[in-house]
Structure 1
Amino acid sequence: MARDAGDPRFSWGRVLAVLRKEFLQLRRDRLTFAMLIGVPLLQLMLFGYAINADPRRLPTAVVAAEATPMVRAVVRAAEHTGYFQVVQVPTEGEAEALLARGEVQFVLVFPSDFTHRLLRGERPALAVYADASDPAAAGPALNALLTLPRQALWRELTGALAPLRPGAEPFELRVHRRYNPEGLSAYNVVPGLMGVILTMTLVMMTAMAMTRERERGTLENLLATPVRPLEMMVGKILPYVLVGYVQVLLVFAAARQLFEVPMAGSFVLLSAAVLMFILATLAVGFTFSTLARSQMQSMQLTMFYFLPNILLSGFMFPFRGMPRWAQWIGELLPLTHFNRMVRGVMLKGAGWEALAPEAAAIGAFMLAAGAVALLRYRQTID
């Protein structure tokens, strides 16, 4: 053996021995092996099927006091573009409330005398209210909507009803971009960065906290103390709550001073949303710390969790542009609901009533993740 170890010649036998050892070690490290297979498959599924920068069939509220053939033709033409999924709403106030809560993306309001003025050649105005907080979601649909005056009524306005001037548009569109009238992407991206930064940093730091104890051999000392699992989790989490608030304050200050993002709502409500999201995120990190056996595994689990959060939460790509199954997954992620809360408070001035469903979703996730973390920690003690 000593002579073989000192042999200066290249040996494929020694290479194969090392190769066999590496494969055996990889097989024993099941979590790492799962990440090597799972991450590429996840990326393939998300980028191949779930990501769509041109969302279609966006919910659109239509307010029309009359149901004439002219009105139906305009609504039908809007649906045929593929960008609008129309629902009838009785009043303009109710439609704008849906727009503020994010339940619809657009509102079309026909004047009560739309058909009468149209037949008189007076070019009535069709009001369009768009939730422009995400310019990527609203932009293509608005561009498609601009073709309606020229194409929607070409069958109805023939003969004596045809416009006197060739090429004239029989009605006009008055587009009102709500919450982001200038279409600035920073208004959508910068508030979303709060949740993205918290997810990336807090999950990783919390996940590595317990595995660091295990690698250094101090976990056994902690297990020998009378500290209960809930007390351990609270003690590990509380320092990072302060860290999370510091990060949020830095992003908020940059949003206000550098990017001039408006703050239309309550800062107290925003702080409450941040606290809920921080606790939910830290519960996930604590769960990962009970699953991983090394800091490297903690980082792998963090990245595996971070990837669908950043892609399916509506931060990078329009949420309504994703297929239905991807939206269902996105609804399970706390970052999706936190982004809605932050943008709702900062851009729309949303109150607690509008944010309650999102807060309930984050609270349910937090309780579920905390229960799993406590259960896993008890198994570690046993």
Structure 2
Amino acid sequence: MTGLSGLRVLAVMVKEFKQLTRDRITYAMMLAIPIVQLTLFGYAINTEPRHLPTAVLMQEDSRYARSITAALKNSLYFDFVAQARSPADLDRLIRNGEAQFAVTVPGDFSRRVARGDKAQILVEADATDPSATGGAVAALAALPDQALAHDLAGALAPRMGTAPFEVVVHRRYNPEAITAYNIVPGLLGIILSLTLVMMTALSVTRETERGTMETLLSTPLEPLEVMIGKLAPYVMVGLVQTAIILVMARVLFHVPMGGGWLGLSLGIALFITGSLALGFLISTVARSQLAAMQMSFFYILPSILLSGFMFPFRGMPAWAQWIGEVIPVTHFLRVVRGSLLKSQGLGDQWRELLALTAFVLVVTALAMARYRRTLD
């Protein structure tokens, strides 16, 4: 037995580096993943979002009312994006997600302020994600002492220790700010992505590695027939997972189950189909199970960080939100949370369902095109 040779070790090292550079997917993942993680965590993640979309219902047009909205905007937490015409219009804006906050200034606000008669304004918050609204709600505590400081002078100045008005905060859909109400429904999208995309990609790639795919390719089966036959069992797996998660969410975490079951069912069907098609697409590109797993992870990582599952979506910069809008998990989470917590109907969810439909069509077409080239 000879001793340790530095030259032989060096030869093995050179061989390994050459092998690494030949596997372009692994090489690219090793470089891309740390860059993506640093970029996302350094620039895109923000646990205290500002400039949240806010709708206002002005039941009186007065100097005091305008001072209230100006003070809210100056806090940097609120951006007014719509002015409602009625309470029903205001409710629609916050229910369908166009507004994170809804401010109502009552018609007798100025009269009550002038009389010192317990004036109030109502601020409703979409609290489905408590972390997205916590900072803004906390900032409302300083509003009564600051908003009308320049308007109430002399005889109108409030007595020492009393505020000219009160802010009544109503946390809608999650009044107790229970984090599980937001996280547990979101887990449905993450778990389905983790299992269905990766399982499908690994399953098909495994057949390629073992040579059984060649036998399948020699049959007169059409590409779509192969795809449907291989993915159908995983559809059942996805449905079973969905049922387990929803039952556990209700039994263990007492997550509210709203009435938007039609939109939820359609969203689940589209997301499962699209996730399986994406896994099939990955399998047509990857040459090994390791490469398939790496490519699946490269899809799942942004899905966790940029979809609004782990961090507030509106806390991210604009460029990160644009990327998040392309990720199908983002739209699926909105469907799930909207159905369970807000009882949204199809009229409230049509944008998200349309995005999921586009995801299914595009990924399926790409998978079919790649599979046909493999046949050739």
Shorter-chain TM range is over 0.9
The alpha carbon displacement at 1:167 in A equals: 2.1
Q: How does 1:1-382 map to 2 (within 5 A)?
A: 6-7=1-2, 9-87=3-81, 88-163=83-158, 165-382=159-376
The alpha carbon displacement at 1:367 in A equals: 0.7
Tell me the distance in 2 between the aligned counterparts of 1:346 and 1:89.
25
| 1:129 match: secondary structure | strand
The alpha carbon displacement at 1:124 in A equals: 1.1
| 1:232 match: secondary structure | helix
Letter in 2 for 1:378: R
Tell me the distance in 1 between the aligned counterparts of 2:55 and 2:87.
9
The alpha carbon displacement at 1:237 in A equals: 1.0
Tell me the distance in 1 between the aligned counterparts of 2:29 and 2:189.
24
Tell me the distance in 2 between the aligned counterparts of 1:281 and 1:218.
24
Tell me the distance in 2 between the aligned counterparts of 1:265 and 1:322.
30
Tell me the distance in 2 between the aligned counterparts of 1:66 and 1:269.
38
Residues 95, 344 of structure 2: 8 Å contact kept:
yes
Tell me the distance in 2 between the aligned counterparts of 1:344 and 1:209.
33
- Consecutive unaligned residues of structure 1, counting only runs of 5 or more, are 1-5
| 1:147 match: secondary structure | helix
| 2:169 match: secondary structure | strand
Tell me the distance in 2 between the aligned counterparts of 1:91 and 1:135.
26
Tell me the distance in 1 between the aligned counterparts of 2:120 and 2:109.
8
The alpha carbon displacement at 1:179 in A equals: 0.5
Aligned length: 375
| 1:146 match: secondary structure | helix
Residues 267, 356 of structure 2: 8 Å contact kept:
no
Tell me the distance in 2 between the aligned counterparts of 1:285 and 1:315.
21
- Relative to structure 2, which stretch is displaced further, 261-270 or 192-201? 261-270
Tell me the distance in 1 between the aligned counterparts of 2:111 and 2:359.
54
| 1:107 match: secondary structure | strand
Letter in 2 for 1:41: I
Once the two structures are superposed, what CA deviation does each residue of 1:234-257 show, in whole Å capped at 9, x if it has no partner?
111111110001111111011110
Once the two structures are superposed, what CA deviation does each residue of 1:259-313 show, in whole Å capped at 9, x if it has no partner?
0011111434322211111001111101100011111111101111000001100
Letter in 2 for 1:138: T
| 2:274 match: secondary structure | helix
- Consecutive unaligned residues of structure 2, counting only runs of 5 or more, are none
Q: Which residue of 2 aligns with 1:3?
A: none
| 2:148 match: secondary structure | coil
Residues 1:212 and 1:316: Cα distance change in structure 2 (over 3 Å)? same
Letter in 1 for 2:129: D
Which ranges of 4 or more aligned residues in structure 1 deviate by more than 3 Å? 266-269
Tell me the distance in 1 between the aligned counterparts of 2:343 and 2:262.
12
Tell me the distance in 1 between the aligned counterparts of 2:53 and 2:90.
11
Tell me the distance in 2 between the aligned counterparts of 1:111 and 1:132.
23
Letter in 2 for 1:106: F
Tell me the distance in 2 between the aligned counterparts of 1:20 and 1:56.
52
Tell me the distance in 2 between the aligned counterparts of 1:39 and 1:359.
30
Identity value in percent:
54
The alpha carbon displacement at 1:45 in A equals: 1.0
Tell me the distance in 1 between the aligned counterparts of 2:104 and 2:40.
37
The alpha carbon displacement at 1:26 in A equals: 0.7
The alpha carbon displacement at 1:72 in A equals: 1.1
Once the two structures are superposed, what CA deviation does each residue of 1:27-85 show, in whole Å capped at 9, x if it has no partner?
11001001001111110111111111010000011111222221111111111111000
TM-score, normalized by length of structure 2? 0.98
